[in-house]
Chains A and B, each alone.
Chain A
Amino acid sequence: MASRIRIKPLDIVIVLVSAGILAVSAIWAYGPKAGDAKVVIKSQSGEWIYPLTTDREIKVPGPLGDTLVGIHGKTVRIEDSPCPNKTCVAAGAINEAGQWIACLPNQVLVRVEGGAENAGIDASVY
Chain B
Amino acid sequence: MPESTLPSTKDFPSAARYPMKKSSAADVTALLGAFCFFLSALEYMVPKPLPFMRLGIANLPILLATDLLPLPWFLALALVKVVGMSVISGSLFSYIAVFSLAGTLTAALTMRGGRKLFGRHVSAVGISILGAMVSNAVQIAIASVLVFGEAARLIAPPFLIMGLVTGTLLGLFAEAFAGKSRWYERAKALLGGTEEGRA
Q: Which residues of B contact A28 (CB under 8 A)?
A: 153, 156
- CB proximity to A under 8 Å, residues B154-181: 154-157, 160-161, 163-164, 167-168, 171-172, 175-176, 179-180
B185 on the A face (CB < 8 A): yes
A104's contact among B52, B133, B151, by CB below 8 Å, is which?
A: B52
- Of the candidate stretches B27-35, B61-69, B79-87, B115-123, the one touching chain A is B115-123
Q: Is the interface of A mostly helix, strand, loop or mixed?
A: mixed
Count chain B residues whose beta carbon lies closer than 8 angstroms to a beta carbon of A.
43
CB nearest to B132 among chain A residues? A18
CB distance from B70 to the nearest CB of A (A): 24
A116 on the B face (CB < 8 A): no
Q: Once the chains bind, are A10 and B148 in contact (CB under 8 Å)?
A: no
- Of the candidate stretches B4-12, B16-24, B42-50, B188-196, the one touching chain A is B42-50
Given A8-B123, A84-B90, A102 and B50 contact (CB-CB distance below 8 Å): yes
A14 on the B face (CB < 8 A): yes
CB distance from B74 to the nearest CB of A (A): 21
Most-contacted residue by chain B among A14, A18, A30, A102 (CB, 10 A): A14
Q: Which residues of A contact B172 (CB under 8 A)?
A: 5
Q: Is the interface of B mostly helix, strand, loop or mixed?
A: helix
CB nearest to B137 among chain A residues? A21
Q: Once the chains bind, are A22 and B164 in contact (CB under 8 Å)?
A: yes
Count chain A residues whose beta carbon lies closer than 8 angstroms to a beta carbon of B.
40
Q: Once the chains bind, are A14 and B122 in contact (CB under 8 Å)?
A: yes
Q: Which residues of B contact A1 (CB under 8 A)?
A: 179-180, 182, 185
CB distance from B92 to the nearest CB of A (A): 13
A2 on the B face (CB < 8 A): yes
Closest 9 pairs (CB-CB, A-B): A11-B126, A10-B122, A25-B156, A14-B126, A26-B157, A104-B51, A100-B154, A29-B153, A5-B175
* 9 extra interface residue pairs, beta carbon distance < 8 Å, beyond A15-B168, A25-B156, A100-B155: A1-B182, A1-B185, A5-B176, A10-B118, A11-B123, A18-B160, A29-B156, A101-B49, A105-B96
